[in-house]
A and B are shown apart, each in its own frame.
Chain A
Amino acid sequence: MLPNSSSDNATVAGNQTPSNWSPQQQTARMLALCEAQMEAATQDSDVAVDTLINSFSDLMNLVRELNAESNQNHSDTQTIKFASEEEMKQRYQTLMRQVNNAIMAFQFYDKLSQRLGHVRYSLSTLALFVCDRLNSQKPEHWDKLVTTLGRLYRTAEERAIFDSIAGTLAITPENEKPKPISQTAAPEGSIELF
């Protein structure tokens, strides 16, 4: 799993291992990272499902209104025609807005699958790592593990979670750590033409 080269030790050469460092504490923090990921994914999914429910409720109301009107008997067809044209435009716009909201919300599933995949990989990698009694006692190997798993966290949200927790995991000096990606990541939905 994790590379075990002599350069691993060089990463933290000369660093003092914090007095409160222990493999158990590191394991607990890695599990906290997974928990934070799952919590964020669940919250995002709840918001998306709420949006879907609202969109479908509005769509259903619109369909009911149209159905009720089509069953009414109109005496002045000319007046109804003009009213209908304006109303039709408004209803079309409402309908399209709700459909667009639903399309955006439906994308939560892709994001959820991806996040859970990262959590699954993190947990299985961590399980293998802690079973390696020799290397799991070495802070520099924990640093390597954090770096390896950190590559999984690619979206702005994921990076924000990772950066907030990973900062307490690695013992690499602050000035040697890469700049948190969450600070430079483009927001969701952004578009850039090159």
Chain B
Amino acid sequence: MPSVILAVDDSASMRQMVRFTLESAGYEVVQAADGVEALDYAKAGNADLVLTDVNMPRMDGITLVRELRNLNNYKGVPILVLTTEAGQDTKMQGKQAGATGWIVKPFNPEQLLATIQRVL
């Protein structure tokens, strides 16, 4: 069975690029447009990895990481942050919230896949 990746981004074009890249490599992709939608999915189903943006309406990516780490079934799931945020402060917030890694957009498809393989 293919690993399920929950891709969270408020930009539809970014979600498409992520979905295209991941599905081409054989992963199953579930999409969410913000933290609230992602958390709803996470509570109902299991993802093997979460890939989330930071700046989103309703619930941002850092809060999502924190909320996911509070769920028993997501304590050990890799959570990668994929964002335009490049500042050390925000990155540290993500690390403290429980993120596994930080990727600055735009992503390189090969490098993204290599990183996912490494943390899965």
Contacts and interface: CB of A to CB of B under 8 A. Distances in A.
A9 interface: no
Contact of B108 (A106, A189, A193): A189
Interface stretch (B30-38, B69-77, B84-92): B84-92
Interface in B16-72: 17, 20-21, 55
B84 A194 contact: no
A189 B104 contact: yes
B13 A155 contact: no
A192 interface: yes
A100 B110 contact: yes
A187 interface: yes
A111 B53 CA distance: 13
B111 interface: yes
B14 A156 contact: no
Nearest to A190: B104
Given A103-B20, A154-B90, A192 B101 contact: yes
B13 A110 contact: yes
A53 B15 CA distance: 22
B56 to A, nearest CB: 11
A186 B105 contact: no
B67 to A, nearest CB: 18
A165 interface: no
B111 to A, nearest CB: 6
Interface in A105-151: 106-111, 113-114
Interface string B101-120: 11111111111000100110
A103 B86 contact: no
A185 B105 CA distance: 13
Given A154-B84, A154-B85, A104 B100 contact: no
A108 B14 CA distance: 9
Contacts of A191: 101-104, 111, 115
- Sorted from nearest, which 6 A-B pairs have the closest CB atoms? A185-B86, A107-B106, A193-B101, A110-B11, A156-B86, A186-B86
13 contacts: A99-B109, A100-B108, A107-B17, A155-B84, A159-B87, A185-B87, A187-B104, A189-B104, A190-B104, A191-B103, A191-B104, A193-B118, A194-B95
